[in-house]
């Protein structure tokens, strides 16, 4: 951009297996949404993916080698066949994703016919079946309404139904419970988890709420300023956090055991602007365990602390990243 180059996501690496839910967690602005937009090939210009690989296996039998999505044209036929068909997205704000001038049924039918060679009647039948799956009452009637006639919870269910229309192998949920109340949030989370188990889906679930992660995820990736600070199974992350940032996130969760008028723990400071990225570990200006002349000079690389957990912190390893 005019101000320079911003590394919104820098060297993020993780795997998602069939039937697994991977939660990506971190404060706003840490690069969670840009990560999944990179996978889907929907990053807006002047943004671009300049390095690395995004490997995706299209078949279940393992006979076919994984393809690198970075090598595909974002607007090409093969990528358009994958996006929305094999890899589907549940966006953060359904009101912004759904058209206000087309009925819900019109948009659902269009999504089916884009990827399936079926008639409008057959597509409508598939849509109604999906609406029943996600718990939308009177689905035949809802097909003829507009998005602004539905409640927030029903709009989110419509988006989940749309994402599942073509039976995707990977479902990406980008903070799908942010814009709805806590009661409806619990219903949507239970719905997503049930559908994921029934269909053996791979899922990437993005949120800033560790409470949500504890409820839905099997594996957790903790991000900060575009980098992975820590990753591992959800039980390891919650019961044995290794990175100071992960511990600070967990400590900031309100509990029912808090005393009257007791201040809630917070993480001091704020995420630096990408144009003003600090040298060394990106978290060191806010870190209570900061090591002078090391954390502010060198960037740690993710290193294993157990068979299943890795962390990028000089408290656990001395490996540094090569200068770019």
DSSP category for residue 55: E
Per-residue pLDDT tens digits of the chain, which is 324 residues long: 888 888 889 889 999 999 999 999 988 888 898 999 999 999 988 888 988 999 998 865 555 788 999 999 988 999 998 998 999 999 888 888 899 999 999 999 999 998 888 999 999 999 999 999 888 899 999 999 999 999 888 898 899 999 999 889 999 999 887 767 788 888 888 888 988 998 899 999 998 888 888 889 999 999 999 999 999 999 999 999 999 999 999 988 877 777 788 788 888 888 888 788 888 899 999 999 999 989 999 999 999 999 999 999 999 887 677 655
CATH superfamily of 1-84+170-324: P-loop containing nucleotide triphosphate hydrolases (3.40.50.300)
Cα 66–Cα 324–Cα 274 angle in degrees, nearest 5: 90
Cβ partners under 8 Å of residue 63, min gap 6 = none
Q: Where are the domains of the chain?
A: 1-84+170-324, 102-167
Q: What pTM does this model have?
A: 0.90
Measured at the CA of 189, the angle between CA 184 and CA 194, to 5 degrees, comes to: 125
3-class DSSP string for 95-139: HHHCCCCCEHHHHHHHHHHHHCCCCHHHHHHHHHHHHHHCCCCCH
In whole angstroms, give the CA distance from residue 187 to residue 193.
10
Among 215, 228, 145, 147, which Cα is nearest to 182's? 215
**Pairing outcome for strands 202-207 and 21-25:** parallel
List, in sequence order, every residue forming a beta bridge with 23; answer none if it has no partner: 205, 220
β-pairing, 310-311 with 303-304? Answer: antiparallel
Strands (DSSP E) contained in the chain are 21-25, 55-56, 67-68, 87-90, 170-174, 202-207, 219-224, 227-233, 303-304, 310-311
């Amino acid at each position: 951009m005019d101000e320079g180059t911003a590394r919104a996501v820098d060297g993020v690496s993780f795997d998602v297996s069939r039937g697994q839910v991977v939660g990506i967690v971190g404060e706003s602005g840490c690069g969670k949404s840009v990560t999944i937009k990179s996978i889907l090939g929907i990053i807006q210009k002047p943004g671009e993916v300049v390095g690395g690989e995004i490997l995706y296996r299209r078949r279940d039998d393992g006979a076919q080698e994984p393809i690198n999505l970075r090598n595909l044209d974002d607007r090409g036929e093969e990528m358009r066949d994958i996006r929305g068909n094999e890899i589907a997205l549940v966006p953060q704000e359904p009101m912004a994703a759904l058209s206000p001038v087309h009925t819900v049924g019109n948009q659902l039918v269009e999504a089916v016919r884009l990827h399936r060679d079926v008639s409008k009647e057959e597509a409508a039948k598939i849509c109604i079946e999906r609406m029943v799956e996600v718990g939308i009452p009177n689905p035949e009637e809802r097909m003829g309404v507009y998005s602004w006639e539905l409640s927030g919870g029903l709009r989110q269910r419509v988006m989940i139904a749309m994402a599942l229309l073509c039976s995707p192998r990977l479902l990406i949920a980008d903070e799908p419970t942010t814009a709805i109340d806590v009661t409806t949030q619990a219903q949507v989370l239970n719905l997503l988890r049930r559908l994921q188990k029934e269909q053996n889906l791979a899922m990437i679930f993005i949120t800033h709420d560790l409470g949500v992660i504890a409820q839905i995820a099997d594996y957790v990736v903790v991000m900060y300023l575009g980098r992975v600070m820590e990753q591992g199974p959800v039980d390891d992350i919650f019961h044995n956090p290794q990175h100071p940032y992960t511990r600070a996130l967990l400590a900031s969760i309100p509990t029912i055991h808090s005393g009257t008028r007791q201040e809630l723990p917070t993480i001091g400071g704020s995420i630096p602007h990408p144009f003003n990225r600090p040298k060394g570990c990106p978290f060191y200006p806010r870190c209570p365990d900061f090591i002078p002349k090391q954390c502010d000079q060198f960037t740690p690389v993710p290193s294993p602390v157990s068979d299943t957990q890795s962390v990028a912190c000089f408290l656990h390893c001395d490996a540094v990243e090569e200068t770019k």
